């Protein structure tokens, strides 16, 4: 079943990050990027993939031509490890190019092309007011699910409150607006503003997939693993699948997309670690 879901993934590209493509040589030199729809299925047009030092970063080359982003910016990456991962994705393409198999390249391109940080950060901060782990069900209505949520979510909420210096508001069985500790909210905001564009884009993807700022922060700070983040974010969905069964072409694709996106974003963050402060 999972193999069938994976096979259908190329036709259901993740919606949360912009896809890209490699196109013709630009007037400034290099290989440009456009929309994923334009490149998907295109024959591989290059033989050699390389990495070159560029300023204080690294660039990817295809037959000696530097890769550019969809907005024609040079794809300049901050660490050699990240550049190596992107180069590996390009080199792994066979007869045809499939952008959905290049999540690290997609994240890197998105980070370089999306520069309205204030807008992005405010978008991310809204998730704290609708955080999945702050809306457990009431035990008298769904006892088993409530017990599972308490066991998995409560320790993470306690970690967050210690880490960011304030309490989280919890709404049991309601969708009322959350009123978290103002101190905690401002500490989170300051922490998010301290991220650079590469960290921010990977973090945003995790937040969206897990529908939880708390889970994403715990993963970013390596308090939990990517696998645990997925389990925490999808706890209620997986419980309902256990109870009512899995819908092929729906639940299975959601699982695959979530797994690919969260693991890719987590790996992306690890690849940034070699930078010096």
Structure tokens that stand for 217 in this block: 């922060």
Task: Report the predicted TM-score, pTM, of the whole model to 2 decimal places.
Answer: 0.85
Q: Which residues, 6+ apart, have CB-to-CB distance to 79 below 8 Å?
A: 57, 58, 271, 272, 273, 274, 275
25-29, 204-208, 210-214, 224-228: segment of lowest average pLDDT:
25-29
Class of domain 19-113: alpha beta
Bridge partners (DSSP) of residue 60 are: 51
Specify the domain boundaries for CATH 1.10.3580.10 within the chain: 117-271
Please write the tens of the pLDDT for every residue from 213-259.
999 999 999 999 999 999 999 999 999 998 888 766 667 788 899 99
pLDDT of residue 27: 31
Q: Measured between alpha carbons, how far is 259 from 269 in angstroms, rounded to an integer?
A: 15
pLDDT of 4 strictly over 70: no
Please write the tens of the pLDDT for every residue from 173-203.
777 889 999 999 999 999 999 999 999 999 9
Q: Measured between alpha carbons, how far is 42 from 46 in angstroms, rounded to an integer?
A: 12
Confidence of residue 14 (pLDDT cuts 50, 70, 90): very low
Q: Which residues, 6+ apart, have CB-to-CB distance to 194 below 8 Å?
A: none
Specify the domain boundaries for CATH 3.30.2180.10 within the chain: 19-113
Confidence of residue 28 (pLDDT cuts 50, 70, 90): very low
Please write the tens of the pLDDT for every residue from 36-64.
446 677 899 999 999 999 999 999 999 99
Among the listed residues 37, 1, 43, the one whose alpha carbon sits nearest the alpha carbon of residue 20:
37
Please spell the DSSP secondary structure of 153-175, one letter per residue. HHHHHHHHHHHHTSPPP--SS--
Does CATH number 1.10.3580.10 belong to domain 117-271? yes
């Amino acid at each position: 079943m999972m193999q069938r879901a994976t096979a259908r993934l190329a036709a259901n590209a993740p919606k949360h990050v912009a896809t890209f493509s490699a196109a013709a040589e630009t007037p400034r030199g290099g290989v440009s990027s456009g929309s994923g729809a334009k490149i998907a299925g295109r024959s591989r047009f290059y033989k050699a993939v390389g990495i070159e030092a560029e300023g204080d970063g690294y660039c990817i080359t295809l037959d000696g031509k530097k890769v550019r982003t969809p907005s024609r910016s040079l794809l300049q990456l901050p660490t050699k490890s990240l550049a190596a991962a992107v180069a590996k994705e390009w080199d792994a393409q066979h007869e045809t190019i499939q952008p959905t198999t290049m999540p690290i390249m997609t994240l890197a391109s998105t980070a370089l092309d999306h520069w309205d940080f204030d807008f992005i950060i405010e978008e991310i901060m809204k998730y704290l007011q609708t955080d999945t782990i702050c809306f457990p069900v009431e035990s008298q209505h769904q006892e088993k699910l409530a017990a599972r949520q308490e066991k998995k979510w409560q320790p993470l909420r306690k970690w967050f409150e210690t880490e960011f210096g304030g309490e989280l508001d919890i709404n049991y069985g309601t969708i009322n607006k959350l009123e978290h500790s103002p101190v905690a909210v401002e500490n989170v905001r300051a922490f998010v503003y301290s991220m650079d564009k590469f960290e921010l884009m990977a973090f945003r993807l995790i937040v969206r997939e897990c529908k939880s700022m708390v889970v994403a922060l715990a993963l970013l700070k390596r308090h939990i693993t990517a696998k645990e983040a997925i389990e925490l974010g999808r706890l209620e969905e997986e419980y309902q699948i256990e109870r009512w069964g899995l819908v092929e072409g729906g639940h299975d694709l959601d699982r695959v997309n979530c797994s690919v996106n969260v693991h890719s974003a987590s790996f992306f963050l690890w690849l940034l670690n070699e930078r010096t402060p």
